[in-house]
Structure 1
Amino acid sequence: MGRKTKLKDLVGVIKDKASQSKAVILSKPSTHSLHLALLRATTHDPFTLPNPKHVHTFLSFGHSSRATASTAIEALMDRLQSTHDSSVALKCLILVHCIVKHGSFILRDQLSVFPSNGGRNYLKLSDFRDTSSPITWELSTWIRWYAEYIESLLCTSRVLGFFLGSFSDKDRNEERVSALLNYDLIRETESLVSQLEVICRQPESLHLNDNLLVGEIRRLVGKDSLSAMNEISVRVHEFGERLSYLSFGDSVELVCELKRLEDCKEKLMSSSTVKKEMTERLWIEIGEIRGRIDGKAKENDDRLVKKVKGERLSDSARFGERVMRSGDSVRFSSARFAVNYRFSLPIIDSME
């Protein structure tokens, strides 16, 4: 196994050198440095992280024209979707995550609209398999999950109107949230909860605890989970402020989202990146809101029961006036009789 791994690593080094030479020869002079930075940041070496120098060089192409940024994203996606090597795929995904966190507006914009038709699973890695070794097979699980996570991250960012973690002004963020309609507030909360649910599905790999690439992914995702919790906390607090004015339908949707969030509690509390004090306050506030909604629902139920009982009593009183009593009569008019007769009809008190 060790000899096979060393051979694979050697082949990876040769592929990297060949790809870089090919980029210099075949690519346009204006994009030489772009393709070289991408190839150097996403090598086949399974024991190294993307070099920060090459990552910074690649991100710098987002500060030029929109056409250059588009070319950079297209080159990155081509490399990601054409590779069968787990190390290259993970490094490409880390580079995509770096664009989301640190890229320029133009670069992020080009990433968010790629491809033009959008859609689910547009990174096209749901079937990724690297079967060259047991480790790469295990890494493939991380690749499929990490691609799903980044897709969810981009989707959440579209719903929020900004990239998660980039809204640093807390006061402005709270002011923006307070101006949202109930529908939009619930929609943003649902998207953030979905983001946390994907985080909670993070693979557990006993054999990859020392893997640098997996460690970097955990670090990046951990920061995102903290940002998502902060955003959810702001929205939960806002729901608490406007709870008295929520419609029945909005209250039901809110309870559903809070229930989904509470289902993530155990996983989130075990995360070392999430502050225990913040999450404890959040769970207390969620419990209070659910309690108030339950109390409001019970109060409405009691009112409904009293109203129904009142209507039934009123109907019974009116019905009593319509029931014939002994001695009441009905007039029949018939051609068979020359004169109208009055017949007294007995009242049937009970029926078997």
Structure 2
Amino acid sequence: MAVGGTQPTLRKYLGALKDTTTVSLAKVNSDYKDLDIAIVKATNHVERPSKEKYIREIFLSISAARPRADVAYCIHALARRLSKTRNWAVALKTLIVIHRALREVDPTFREELINYGRSRSHMLNMAYFKDDSSAEAWDYSAWVRIYALYLEERLECFRVLKYDVETDPPRTRDLDTVALLDHLPPLQQLLFRLLACQPQGASSYNIIIQHALSMVALESVKIYTAISDGTINLVDKFFEMQRNDAIRALDIYKRATNQAERLSEFYEVCKTIHIGRGEKFLKIEQPPASFLQTMEEYVRDAPTMTKEKAVLAIEYKKEPEEEEKPASPPPAPEPEAEQEPEPEPEPVIEEPPAPEPDLLGLNEPSPAATAIEEQNALALAIVPIDDVPKAAPTFENGVTGWELALVTAPSSNETAVASSKKLVGC
């Protein structure tokens, strides 16, 4: 008994020592020491709900009037606190601060939180978190992981739908078929994460978990209202849908019916542990089973898009065929009465035209003109044949005579050298 009572006391002492050390370091090293101190005191190791004044100090630091740098630093400090702890109380209190900020603070905090998750790993991913210091802490750790999944799905739903189901008015009542088929699945996935937050074992009676569960139960009302309005709108359009859309709509309707049953059980559990006192939970009524059978029969006989496309293609091909019909052949000509052959005319022989008389005598040869033409022909030979210059003789290997003469001719330098030798010999 002494050992069992000493261990929780030692854990509380170590937790208080860690908190005191962190506060002392924040006072010395931090540029945002007031914010860091408020975060540490709002998420300390004490197994009781956080004090409201520290949470308000955090919300004041991330309000719309503060610079975006302060909001980003607050998110970074909460993420660091969440990633380093192995204590269920610290982790759960940090998640509660984030959840309340999403509900109560300006939307800029939500936008910065989404941007932080894009640039870094998801700060709400606590799939491997566990506190195995005791059996109760093990149950608490399981609920902390489920609660973190719900908050992460809440951000994802906002990112897809571009509006917050909790703070913005519902929009599923007036959407068309395509928008309904896109909006309802994320809402149903969010409700699925919410229903998983139903506490089990020791977590049902923990005061901090009950505080977080009360916020989750309140949000379930608006989430289910949005899904219910969208389902009614979808049913009104169901019997006019094509087969592919009707199949998707039928799956959404079946899932909505199943989730309605589970939500009724969730509300009963909340009432037994006194969650949501003074709040009116929804009274959920199930549709008749015959209506589901009617929807399934329509899906089997629903028109498909491919048949319509085939009909349109056939009609489109028929039009040019009608236009391109060949023209009917002209009627055959009636046979004409036979006529007697006419006699062929005799060929006419054409005589060549008689030459015209040369009255001026131009065609007669003249002896004087002939003599002049002969003299002009002799005058064209200007250069006699004997005076044509002879081509330079060529030798083997293509060497011409002038090139050989240039090589073999004695130069003036050689003559000067020879004469100088003679003088020396003398």
Please classify the TM superposition score into its range, dividing by the shorter chain length. Answer: 0.7 to 0.9
Contact kept? 1:42, 1:88, Cα under 8 Å: yes
CA RMSD of aligned residues (A): 2.4
Query: Is the aligned partner of 1:50 residue 2:50?
Result: yes
Partner residue of 1:74? 76
Query: Is the aligned partner of 1:26 residue 2:21?
Result: no
Given candidates 208, 213, 216, the residue that maps to 2:211 is 216
Partner residue of 2:112? 110
Partner residue of 1:314? none
Query: Is the aligned partner of 1:158 residue 2:159?
Result: yes
Q: Percent sequence identity over matched residues?
A: 22
Give the distance between the partners of 2:10 and 2:182, measured in 1 at CA: 51
Structure 1 residue identity aligned to 2:153 = S
Contact kept? 2:188, 2:256, Cα under 8 Å: yes
Query: Is the aligned partner of 1:205 residue 2:206?
Result: no
Give the distance between the partners of 2:298 and 2:112, measured in 1 at CA: 47
CA radius of gyration, larger in: 2
Deviation at 1:19, TM superposition (A): 0.9
Give the distance between the partners of 2:22 and 2:118, measured in 1 at CA: 28
Give the distance between the partners of 1:297 and 1:51, measured in 2 at CA: 56
CA deviation digits over 1:241-280, x for unaligned, max 9? 3224322211111111222222333321123369665421
- Pick closer, same or farther for the CA change 1:188–1:117 going to 2, 3 Å: farther
- Pick closer, same or farther for the CA change 1:203–1:277 going to 2, 3 Å: closer
- Size of the aligned set, in residue pairs, is 288
Give the distance between the partners of 1:124 and 1:296, measured in 2 at CA: 42
Partner residue of 1:305? none
Q: Give 5+ residue unaligned stretches, structure 1.
A: 302-352
Partner residue of 1:346? none
- Pick closer, same or farther for the CA change 1:117–1:177 going to 2, 3 Å: farther
CA deviation digits over 1:309-345, x for unaligned, max 9? xxxxxxxxxxxxxxxxxxxxxxxxxxxxxxxxxxxxx
Structure possessing the higher relative contact order (Cα contacts under 8 Å, 6 or more residues apart): 1
Partner residue of 1:345? none
Deviation at 1:93, TM superposition (A): 0.8
User: TM-score, normalized by length of structure 2?
Assistant: 0.63
Deviation at 1:151, TM superposition (A): 0.9
Contact kept? 2:16, 2:45, Cα under 8 Å: yes
Given candidates 250, 271, 275, the residue that maps to 2:245 is 250
CA deviation digits over 1:272-299, x for unaligned, max 9? 369665421xx328x6864552343355
Contact kept? 1:164, 1:228, Cα under 8 Å: yes
Higher share in helix: 1
- Please list, as runs of the form range in 1=range in 2, the aligned pairs for 1:208-287 lying within 5 A after superposition: 208-272=203-267, 278-280=283-285, 283-284=286-287
User: TM-score, normalized by length of structure 1?
Assistant: 0.75
Give the distance between the partners of 2:85 and 2:160, measured in 1 at CA: 31
| SS state at 1:100 partner | helix
Give the distance between the partners of 1:94 and 1:252, measured in 2 at CA: 39
Deviation at 1:72, TM superposition (A): 0.8
Give the distance between the partners of 2:38 and 2:228, measured in 1 at CA: 39
Give the distance between the partners of 1:244 and 1:264, measured in 2 at CA: 23
Structure 2 residue identity aligned to 1:58 = I
Partner residue of 1:59? 59
Contact kept? 1:9, 1:44, Cα under 8 Å: yes
Give the distance between the partners of 1:62 and 1:238, measured in 2 at CA: 39
Partner residue of 2:128? 127
Partner residue of 1:143? 144
CA deviation digits over 1:159-180, x for unaligned, max 9? 221223102x4xxx34x751x3
| SS state at 1:131 partner | coil
Contact kept? 1:61, 1:69, Cα under 8 Å: yes
Give the distance between the partners of 2:222 and 2:282, measured in 1 at CA: 15
Contact kept? 1:59, 1:103, Cα under 8 Å: yes
Partner residue of 1:97? 99
Contact kept? 1:85, 1:130, Cα under 8 Å: yes
